[in-house]
A and B are shown apart, each in its own frame.
Chain A
């Protein structure tokens, strides 16, 4: 039997995460403010209005931002250290305990890199945008800074601000450049996310003021406050709803197909590549790290929800006839694995969840970019109106095939490694009873069958068979241009690189994940101590309480 990380009992009094490595240079602040300043300069770029100059400017800014984050990683970040690094603290509004605190550990660093990387590619993907290009690139660059901030800030109030500020560019990008139902989609998006983020504010305030004294919202301080069990459960439930909308978790997902269905390709890449990861990151950062005892109680629910995500979204994706929505649902399905990984209580599974986020960020972005590129040519997203276009667009066909295979977790690509790590971590860890693990693993593995079913049917309907005569008659199917091949290749390099040698990525964050899981496992063992029987009895209750009550009503109704 393999022994998995079993740590010493959790001692709330002992300072955790107390050590921080201060930055020798404000790398993270620079990476947040550089794109924002760049965005503010966009109106002053001389441009005739068709975006030819401003897009080069935006690309330059995005690339430099990417280089800044890479420099931060190379110069100030040591992967073997689990504590916060690149840390900067400036007291901002001391009266309400607000501090400009940024830093990066294993949970944030990979996602910061992912953000700047995907944004740079999204700017390149936005090359054909000619409608209000200045505003468009302004918003994209502003989002770049805002999203890096979400991952880099180390203060819960700041996190809330960054989370909210990032909604605005997305709303505008959807509402101005979207498809036919863009107003509806944008409104739905803003209502869902803004509404649910109220829970973040509430939880942040509650946690910051907990224990009296000067409020303090820094993660490191929050982590050392000994929250009571009931308090943790409340905060956890609220945060789960907020982040569950973002991730998304079924049944809080219905904004996503609408938003993704209406977004243009570059926005789409950002939505799938980065925005969804904010949910997963926040679940790890707050729910798992700051509320470990509640996490121990909620973990079975997370896992069950993860399985529901996988199967439910795979089925809806299979039935979808709209290409964009199909891929959108497939994103939901893939995020189910993240939930299982986070709930798995094993270093391997949690590490897999992290890898799945990075991997899906890359694969999702590539698929959505291809959807956009295909739409530019076919002017339709309905699968029924396509067919046989592989004969004219061979390179496009090849790119689609590779990305679809990556998405269905073909070995040699990153998706396989992350899903495998989650499966192996969940199955082999002794945190859950054997029957639970058997049933969940069996159900989650059904996703392994369903994913190729919908992805390969999709490929078949778009590219295989006889050419759709009607489509060919009124559209010009030109093959992929070098810019498009370049974007996909840039995404495939890390996808295949991680797939061939996963430690390239996992080594950058495994120290932090190990520390996080140790903390969670210790909390779980605390729960299991016989001295607290009442907690033991309530251990399953959250799942029972929160499980949808619908069936009962429906049983009566039918």
Chain B
């Protein structure tokens, strides 16, 4: 009987099989398959469910102390080069496998309810299975290149799912933005992988780390180059895990269906960056500067996400910026050289953030019956309020999520966040302080979301507010979507059940990682767990933990005073007094505007002008029409503006510069 680890290759293959089968069927017998909703859903659930069972078996084996299993085969070869692919099962991977399959399964159950009326139901489930497969493949990848392969595939699934409602302009733009911003990160990742391969001759995590250390000590790779390669590789996680300044795609990605936001853009795919950094720990631990960079980027992201979340009025966007902020915490942990703490936060966060997003989906689902299928209205908290009475399960689970993320013991978020802050306090006290402040902000904005959504009076019938919101979004209040004028209701069981299930780990899972007896650390890194338990002293733990709880509590109190008891008016107190800061946060630090002006318009302009040069100069010269137009004065006008010369100069000047550069540096042929 083979061990579960030997069968681990089945974990991504099963959902892939399901996705391919339904995908082909969709192309071949579209209308028939679209009618077979339940059978397809059951079939795909079975595939992912089987993968989940196998993942739990793998995790159980690893808990029992099974050795690391690795199987490889030669995937590509040329000359003396050969590239192995395969799979590896180790404790880190086993934890992630169990996590991803659990959440994927719950989200699929949830989607059955959420997408019930959507005409793309079957397509949605197919994409979900495809994503699960890619994500699981990423986890069991034994080397950087295979990670890159699946990295791109999860990016593709994200593209397909963000653009799922392809008749919406917003979704189309968001999908493209997500893919392109991720490609910017992948650009660095790819170059970094290639460079590391050049330096070490290996794609394997440990092989790279050892090889690079050896290469630096023998002097065959200069130190700055090694550093550069490490930072290039880090660009990949920066984009995927939405770290500043490449976080801009994640909030926009909320255009996708909410189950996707929960699964891909909160719990699993965005954590892939953190996971990769954890995998690269042997490499990064050699370079303290890289650690510092990661920690600083993480801290900036953490603060940025929280500060923007303070002013968001869109429920999903608020949660999205909260995700950005929490991913920042995880990166901070990685930068402090505490991957176990980061991974622990990844796990706890996956549960409670998935739950929070699914709650928001439940809310939106209910709101759509009142205000219609218009995301501008259905997701805006100014039209919500008082939902607790109508949606008890959703509101309770949302509240549990809020307490968990705010870091109130004994819920999950407290243990993991506190561990990160503790590590940061030792490594970088300044960064600890920022993270500490952010914890207070987190508590405030989460409870703000809760109170605005679930407490007070229901504001959904306010037509004036609806019109105002539509006007602000430059949309007609036309009413292609007739108002259902329905009533709020709790969601069906298929949606509330996953919420209830997720609430359990959100409350309890933190207890696996108490600093004095961390079973989580014992699994990932037994030595570190021993050390942690030995070093643990209440005298050190209590002040820091107490401070964290205190700042969270004060954040919650402000939220209670402002949004529940209405004792203080924050818009008067703060927003009016510091309009610049408020505008800065509300406009998302102006990063989207900068992005739009600099990169989007800039690249369009450059492209247009290169094309003009291509048509008028390059083609003109060979057509000899260039001469004619010059003679007729038509071309003269064109050349007088100087643009043609200027851009031709850039193109050819670039070539010349390259050639000259290597003329000076020496012969490019070594």
**What is A's interface to B at a CB cutoff of 8 Å?**
1-5, 250-251, 254, 296, 299-300, 304, 307-308, 312, 315-316, 318-320, 346-348, 351-352, 388, 390-391, 394-395, 397-399, 401, 405, 410-412, 416-417, 420-421, 423-425, 427-428, 430-437, 439-442, 445-446, 448-449, 452-453, 456-457, 460, 463-467, 485, 501-503, 506, 510, 513-514, 517, 524, 527-528, 536, 539-540, 543-544, 547-548, 550-551, 554-555, 557-558
Contact indicator B198/A428 (Cβ below 8 Å): yes
Contact indicator B610/A312 (Cβ below 8 Å): yes
Q: Closest CB of chain B to A194's CB: distance in Å?
A: 14
Instruction: A405 to B157: give the CA distance in the assembly, Å.
Output: 11
- Residue B42 at the A interface, CB < 8 A? no
Contact indicator A540/B663 (Cβ below 8 Å): yes
Contact indicator B610/A453 (Cβ below 8 Å): no
Contact indicator B610/A351 (Cβ below 8 Å): no
Contact indicator A548/B655 (Cβ below 8 Å): yes
- Residue B76 at the A interface, CB < 8 A? yes
Contact of A300 among B79, B651, B662 (CB under 8 A): B662
Which residues from chain A contact B195 at a C-beta distance below 8 Å? 427
Contact of A448 among B183, B220, B611, B651 (CB under 8 A): B183
- What per-residue 1/0 map shows which CB atoms of B123-139 lie under 8 Å from chain A? 00000000000000000
Which residues from chain B contact A543 at a C-beta distance below 8 Å? 659
Q: Closest CB of chain A to B204's CB: distance in Å?
A: 13
Determine which residue in B30, B614, B656 has the highest number of CB atoms from chain A within 10 A of its CB, and name it.
B614
Contact indicator A424/B81 (Cβ below 8 Å): yes
Contact indicator A445/B652 (Cβ below 8 Å): no
Contact of B604 among A319, A352, A427, A434 (CB under 8 A): A319
Which residues from chain A contact B614 at a C-beta distance below 8 Å? 254, 312, 316
Instruction: A346 to B608: give the CA distance in the assembly, Å.
Output: 36
Q: Closest CB of chain A to B77's CB: distance in Å?
A: 7
Closest 9 CB pairs of A and B: A347-B79, A464-B172, A2-B201, A436-B668, A411-B149, A319-B611, A319-B607, A351-B78, A318-B607
Contact indicator B611/A315 (Cβ below 8 Å): yes
- Residue B649 at the A interface, CB < 8 A? yes
Contact of A1 among B184, B201, B610, B619 (CB under 8 A): B201
Instruction: A101 to B649: give the CA distance in the assembly, Å.
Output: 47
Q: Closest CB of chain A to B391's CB: distance in Å?
A: 33
Which residues from chain A contact B652 at a C-beta distance below 8 Å? 548, 550-551, 554
- Residue B419 at the A interface, CB < 8 A? no
Contact indicator B180/A452 (Cβ below 8 Å): yes
Interface residues of B in 187-211 (CB under 8 A from A): 187, 190-191, 194-195, 197-198, 201
How many A-B residue contacts, CB cutoff 8 Å? Answer: 236
Contact indicator A550/B648 (Cβ below 8 Å): yes
- Residue B434 at the A interface, CB < 8 A? no
Contact of B648 among A296, A351, A433, A554 (CB under 8 A): A554
Contact indicator A441/B603 (Cβ below 8 Å): no
Contact indicator B668/A433 (Cβ below 8 Å): yes
Given A351-B79, A510-B78, A452 contacting B642 (CB threshold 8 A):
no
**19 A-B Cβ contacts within 8 A?**
A4-B81, A299-B669, A412-B153, A421-B78, A423-B190, A428-B194, A431-B669, A432-B670, A433-B670, A435-B665, A436-B662, A460-B172, A460-B173, A506-B78, A510-B78, A513-B78, A514-B79, A548-B655, A551-B656
Which residues from chain A contact B201 at a C-beta distance below 8 Å? 1-2, 428
- What per-residue 1/0 map shows which CB atoms of B159-198 lie under 8 Å from chain A? 1100100111101110110011001101100110011011
Q: Closest CB of chain B to A272's CB: distance in Å?
A: 19
- Residue B80 at the A interface, CB < 8 A? yes
Which residues from chain B contact A397 at a C-beta distance below 8 Å? 166
Contact indicator B658/A304 (Cβ below 8 Å): yes
Given A433-B666, A510-B77, A456 contacting B176 (CB threshold 8 A):
yes
Contact of A445 among B76, B77, B153, B187 (CB under 8 A): B187
Given A304-B658, A319-B604, A502 contacting B75 (CB threshold 8 A):
yes
Given A395-B30, A428-B194, A540 contacting B608 (CB threshold 8 A):
no
Q: Closest CB of chain B to A228's CB: distance in Å?
A: 20
Q: Closest CB of chain A to B591's CB: distance in Å?
A: 18
- Residue B1 at the A interface, CB < 8 A? no
Instruction: A116 to B604: give the CA distance in the assembly, Å.
Output: 39
Instruction: A323 to B380: give the CA distance in the assembly, Å.
Output: 39
Instruction: A319 to B607: give the CA distance in the assembly, Å.
Output: 5
Contact of A2 among B80, B168, B184, B649 (CB under 8 A): B80
- Residue B474 at the A interface, CB < 8 A? no
In addition to A2-B81, A410-B156, A416-B149, 12 A-B residue pairs with Cβ atoms within 8 Å of each other are: A299-B669, A347-B79, A432-B668, A432-B669, A433-B668, A441-B191, A445-B191, A460-B176, A464-B167, A467-B167, A540-B669, A554-B645
Contact of A5 among B79, B215, B648 (CB under 8 A): B79
- Residue B618 at the A interface, CB < 8 A? yes
Which residues from chain B contact A445 at a C-beta distance below 8 Å? 187, 190-191
Q: Closest CB of chain B to A249's CB: distance in Å?
A: 12
- Residue B653 at the A interface, CB < 8 A? yes
Instruction: A251 to B190: give the CA distance in the assembly, Å.
Output: 29
Which residues from chain B contact A554 at a C-beta distance below 8 Å? 645, 648-649, 652
Q: Closest CB of chain B to A547's CB: distance in Å?
A: 5
Which residues from chain A contact B642 at a C-beta distance below 8 Å? 558
Interface residues of B in 578-625 (CB under 8 A from A): 603-604, 606-608, 610-611, 614, 618-619, 622-623
Q: Closest CB of chain A to B545's CB: distance in Å?
A: 44
Chain B: residues with Cβ within 8 Å of the partner, total of 80
- What per-residue 1/0 map shows which CB atoms of B51-90 lie under 8 Å from chain A? 0000000000000000000000011111111000000000
Q: Closest CB of chain A to B417's CB: distance in Å?
A: 35
Q: Closest CB of chain B to A245's CB: distance in Å?
A: 10
The chain B residue with its CB closest to the CB of A184 is B623
- Residue B314 at the A interface, CB < 8 A? no
Instruction: A465 to B166: give the CA distance in the assembly, Å.
Output: 6
Contact indicator B169/A452 (Cβ below 8 Å): no
Which residues from chain B contact A352 at a C-beta distance below 8 Å? 78
Instruction: A558 to B641: give the CA distance in the assembly, Å.
Output: 10
Contact indicator A4/B669 (Cβ below 8 Å): no
The chain B residue with its CB closest to the CB of A500 is B75
Given A445-B190, A446-B187, A503-B76, A254 contacting B81 (CB threshold 8 A):
no
Instruction: A431 to B198: give the CA distance in the assembly, Å.
Output: 13
- Residue B27 at the A interface, CB < 8 A? yes
Instruction: A456 to B171: give the CA distance in the assembly, Å.
Output: 13
Given A411-B150, A424-B194, A540 contacting B81 (CB threshold 8 A):
no
Which residues from chain A contact B611 at a C-beta distance below 8 Å? 315-316, 319-320
Contact indicator A457/B176 (Cβ below 8 Å): yes
Given A428-B194, A436-B668, A348 contacting B169 (CB threshold 8 A):
no
Which residues from chain B contact A434 at a C-beta distance below 8 Å? 670
Instruction: A254 to B613: give the CA distance in the assembly, Å.
Output: 12
Which residues from chain B contact A299 at a C-beta distance below 8 Å? 669
Determine which residue in B171, B642, B652, B653 has the highest number of CB atoms from chain A within 10 A of its CB, and name it.
B652
Q: Closest CB of chain B to A26's CB: distance in Å?
A: 32
Which residues from chain A contact B425 at a C-beta distance below 8 Å? none
Contact of A540 among B145, B651, B662 (CB under 8 A): B662
Instruction: A547 to B663: give the CA distance in the assembly, Å.
Output: 12
Contact indicator A456/B180 (Cβ below 8 Å): yes
Which residues from chain A contact B156 at a C-beta distance below 8 Å? 405, 410
Instruction: A304 to B623: give the CA distance in the assembly, Å.
Output: 25
Determine which residue in A405, A464, A510 has the highest number of CB atoms from chain B within 10 A of its CB, and name it.
A464
Contact indicator A390/B152 (Cβ below 8 Å): no
Instruction: A510 to B81: give the CA distance in the assembly, Å.
Output: 12
Which residues from chain A contact B26 at a C-beta distance below 8 Å? 398
The chain B residue with its CB closest to the CB of A255 is B622
Which residues from chain B contact A304 at a C-beta distance below 8 Å? 655, 658-659
The chain A residue with its CB closest to the CB of B600 is A453
- Residue B433 at the A interface, CB < 8 A? no
Contact indicator A312/B651 (Cβ below 8 Å): yes
Determine which residue in A411, A524, A555 has the highest number of CB atoms from chain B within 10 A of its CB, and name it.
A411
The chain B residue with its CB closest to the CB of A446 is B187
- What per-residue 1/0 map shows which CB atoms of B631-670 lie under 8 Å from chain A? 0000000000010011011011111101101110111111
